[in-house]
Amino acid sequence: MAYMYAYYIIIDTQGFTMKKITVILGFIGLTIFISGCSTVPTTLLPQGNNIYVVIATSSSSSRALNGAMKKANETCQARHQSAIVLSHESVYQGGMDQSAKETLTMATQIVNMNSNAYVPGPNNSANFKVDLKFKCE
């Protein structure tokens, strides 16, 4: 009932039509769905003595590191322990020079912001690889 009341307040005070509200709610739902589904591929390798290595790949070093940290925390939390990072290494493994990739990415973002056309960038979901060694304590 509160939903219907909120709907009528929006219609009365803002002049929105039902179609506009549906489009806005659909966009919000799609955004939440996509962000929930965008995970970083990880591989967990047990090393013994509560030590593990997580290998994560992504289109950016920070995304790969965040994905590896998420996997490390999930692994240790399942054992009611905390993750202690022992070491990590990030390696660029893309097909083109890293600075050229960054320049091309920036250029495609500018084109996409200033035009109606979409130009895909050079991002690849495996451009960066992170090896994260951690211990559960």
Read off the pTM. 0.57
92 and 129 fall within a common domain: yes
- CATH number of the domain that 84 lies in? 3.10.28
52 and 91 fall within a common domain: yes
Q: What whole-number distance in Å separates Cα of residue 117 and Cα of residue 56?
A: 32
Question: What is the count of structural domains for the chain?
Answer: 2
pLDDT per residue as tens digits for the range 51-64: 999 999 988 889 99
Q: How confident is the model at residue 110 (pLDDT cuts 50, 70, 90)?
A: confident
Q: Write out the residue range of the structural domain in which residue 72 sits.
A: 42-96+120-136
For residues 70-80, give the mean pLDDT. 96
Helix, strand, coil shares of the chain, percent, nearest 5, are 50, 25, 25
Residue 115 covered by a domain: no
pLDDT per residue as tens digits for the range 4-41: 444 444 444 455 455 555 545 554 554 444 444 458 89
Contacts of 101 (CB under 8 A, 6+ apart): 94, 122, 127
Q: How many residues are listed for the chain in this entry?
A: 137
Position 92 scores a pLDDT of 85
For residues 94-112, give the mean pLDDT. 69
